[in-house]
């Protein structure tokens, strides 16, 4: 029976569908539309719909990577942001300590030496 379906009228249809799906995911597809609800010529509601269908690789290629930063879609991101914040704070404290030690010893930090004339 499976052989009958493959050789029947749907044989070319499935290959065509795969080709279409491959092309849509490779190139992308955008569907846009507006829905407006009015009563007595008074606009009550407007819904703007923008739908884009493409592969993840294509989306990243054109700069759409919002799912990487959505806390619901990328678990663990909050912890990484918190760790990043804490590390930056530690870096600031260390820079202040180095600056205070350098000032107390009368030396300029290596990156901020003044040239003598």
| pLDDT score, position 117 | 44
Q: b/e string for 56-82 if b means 16 or more Cβ within 10 A?
A: eebbeeeeeeeeeeeeeeeeeeeeeee
| pLDDT score, position 94 | 95
User: What are the per-10-residue average pLDDT scores of the chain (117 residues)?
Assistant: 48 73 82 88 88 83 77 73 92 94 74 51
| pLDDT score, position 112 | 54
What does each C-alpha distance from 75 to 30, 67, 72 come to in angstroms?
28, 11, 6
| pLDDT score, position 13 | 62
Measured distance CA(104)–CA(79) in Å, rounded: 38
| pLDDT score, position 55 | 84
Q: Is the pTM of this model over 0.85?
A: no
Structural domain spans, the chain: 24-64, 76-105
């Amino acid at each position: 029976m499976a052989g009958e379906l493959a050789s029947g009228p749907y044989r070319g249809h499935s290959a065509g569908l795969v080709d279409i799906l491959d092309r849509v995911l490779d190139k992308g597809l955008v569907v846009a539309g507006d829905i407006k609800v009015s009563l007595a010529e008074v606009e009550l509601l407007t819904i703007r719909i923008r739908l884009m269908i493409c592969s993840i690789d294509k989306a990243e290629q054109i700069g759409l990577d919002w799912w990487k930063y959505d806390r619901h879609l990328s678990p663990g991101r909050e912890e990484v942001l918190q760790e990043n914040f804490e590390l930056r704070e530690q870096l600031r404290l260390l820079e202040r300590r180095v600056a205070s030690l350098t000032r107390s010893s009368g030396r300029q930090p290596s990156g901020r030496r003044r040239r003598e004339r």
